[in-house]
A and B are shown apart, each in its own frame.
Chain A
Amino acid sequence: DAGITQSPRYKITETGRQVTLMCHQTWSHSYMFWYRQDLGHGLRLIYYSAAADITDKGEVPDGYVVSRSKTENFPLTLESATRSQTSVYFCASSEIQVYTEAFFGQGTRLTVV
């Protein structure tokens, strides 16, 4: 199916474990983004990527790692999960033009216990 998909939709993990959230888009969009959303903070940018093999830090990158070996995939890894990383994570993609719309995945609800 065309679009942007995130997996898993829900995840419960223990403190200290490594977790990878997957994001896949079928449009060949240049840009991809990872956000986390918490009450009172809105959507905060974790990492973004302008193209394959190009990534840059956003507002809250600490504790997260990203890679982009292929245009269509942009996985987000929590190297050692902490309770403060309990959140809803959204992945998005957009074309390269500055006025273009960003499309979001349905989100991953992550709970760290």
Chain B
Amino acid sequence: RKEVEQDPGPFNVPEGATVAFNCTYSNSASQSFFWYRQDCRKEPKLLMSVYSSGNEDGRFTAQLNRASQYISLLIRDSKLSDSATYLCVVNILTGGGNKLTFGTGTQLKVEL
């Protein structure tokens, strides 16, 4: 079983729609959680960190459920510019230190 699993999509949604992505992780020792965005095979960039209490940044809301070991990302009022691949990232503390593990990514296409 992969340490971090995501539905690869693609999710094709009309502009203005609300879309949600989920991600599950297998290691209960995971310390911290993030969503990254990646455009057209460019380098990934941090979208937002994910906290247990949930956090919001404009149109984006992230939630963490430690009991069920899943993370979610909600995008409201989708824009064409939101089209990208969204990567779920889990930081696991190992004997070697912090190990950042990525999911395979979920592709989002926002259409007119």
Contact A90 B44 (CB under 8 A): yes
CB-CB under 8 A for A98 and B43, given A33-B100, A41-B104, A56-B97 = no
Residues of A in contact with B, size category: 20 to 34
Contact B101 A45 (CB under 8 A): yes
Contact B99 A104 (CB under 8 A): no
Q: Determine, out of B10-18, B57-65, B72-80, B87-95, the stretch whose residues face the partner at the interface.
A: B87-95
Cα of A88 to Cα of B18 in the assembled complex, Å: 32
Residues of B in contact with A, size category: 20 to 34
Contact A50 B98 (CB under 8 A): yes
Kindly provide the distance from the CB of B91 to the nearest chain A CB, expressed in whole angstroms.
6
Within 8 A of A (CB), among B28-65: 31-32, 34, 41-46, 49
Of A48, A90, A96, which contacts B96 at CB under 8 A?
A48
**Chain B neighbourhood of A107, CB < 8 A:** 41-43
Contact B98 A31 (CB under 8 A): yes
CB-CB under 8 A for A54 and B96, given A42-B87, A90-B44, A104-B45 = yes
**Interface positions of A (Cβ within 8 A of B):** 31, 33, 35, 37, 40-45, 48, 50-51, 54-56, 58-59, 88, 90, 92, 94, 96, 98-99, 101-102, 104-107
6 A-B pairs (CB sep. < 8 Å): A40-B8, A45-B100, A98-B32, A99-B31, A99-B49, A102-B89
New A-B pairs, 8, CB < 8 Å, besides A42-B103, A51-B97, A104-B43:
A33-B100, A43-B102, A45-B99, A45-B100, A94-B98, A102-B100, A105-B43, A107-B42
